[in-house]
Amino acid sequence: MNEVSHRRIKTNGIWVHIAEQGRGPLVLLLHGFPEIWYSWRHQISFLANHGYHVVAPDLRGYGDSDSPLSPSSYTFMHYVGDIIGLLDHLGEQQAFVVGHDVGAAIAWHLSLFRPERVKASINLGVAYFDRNPNAKLGESLIRTFGDGFYISKFQEPGRAERAFARYDYLTVIKKFLLITQTDNLIAPPGMEIIDYLGTPSRLPPWITEEELQVYADKFQESGFTGALNFYRALDLNWELTAPWQGSKIRVPVKFMVGENDIGFDINGIRQYIEGNIFRNLIPDLEVVMLDGHHYLQQEKHQQVSEEILSFLAKFPAE
């Protein structure tokens, strides 16, 4: 089996870096915040060794991919356009699409906008919700959770970046990737979210200092603005997605979530994904709850890899 290879391709007007390995049916792995392609390192080799062509891009704004300056360049339209261009570049009409966190939100909307390009989808950590016709998403979150909510803190350009800059890059990465709290990420009045988040004194067994340093080094090169711009386009997304109001996800989906994920119980996510509304929006749905936190593909990498593979196996190559 060849090692992971890297290249940059032109898609949707920008250059996107991809890591890839293996031959066979195409599997796209879309990472979350604050991550890069490397968050899928365990799944890349696992799936490649089981007969798949695995491609993990750095999303626009991250890693070695381009970071357009304007927050308005980070809508679902842009991300989905990047993925469609990637599929075209690879000469593939369809792909299996796996997304985590921000990547899951993008995968949901890829399935919503262009279902004919998605053979099946596996999403981790972020469920699909129908668009609320009466309230913009960003405004709704701020109204519900207040100014201390992490997404609220990310809205003003430069604010989170200035707060993050009070710490070295490795500490910032640790504060996010090693989160174990299950309540919402809401800072007390007068405190920034990065100051509110703790820094563990010991690393969990599923990640090493050297692995965390890979993220830190890459964000030291790219900065955080491109990654944060996703959150600054939430209200623009609400405006642009009005034509899909009430639409269903018409591709087969496996949804995985950690039972100790942030806000899983207190926000009613458990009841939502077990209830009828979620299943009505996604008629062909399988739900798996794991004993883990938010960054499942790393914390529970073997279990997540096997869950992905078992789902892919339901769709034999034509």
Evaluated on CA atoms 149, 150, 151, 156, the torsion sign reads: positive
Which entry of 78, 293, 294, 301 is annotated as an active-site residue?
294
Four-residue CA torsion sign, 76, 110, 183, 132: positive
Strand order in the sheet with 26-30: 5-11, 14-21, 53-57, 26-30, 95-100, 118-124, 253-258, 285-290
| Spatial contact of 42 and 122, defined as CB atoms under 8 Å apart | no
15 touches 8 (CB < 8 A): yes
Respond yes or no: is residue 100 known to be catalytic: no
Judge whether 124 and 297 are in contact, CB under 8 Å: yes
Please confirm, yes or no, whether 66 is among the known catalytic residues: no
Q: 31 an active-site residue? A: no
Catalytic annotation, pick one of 231, 261, 293, 295: 231
Catalytic residue among 101, 150, 169, 293: 101
Return the active site residues.
Answer: 101, 231, 294
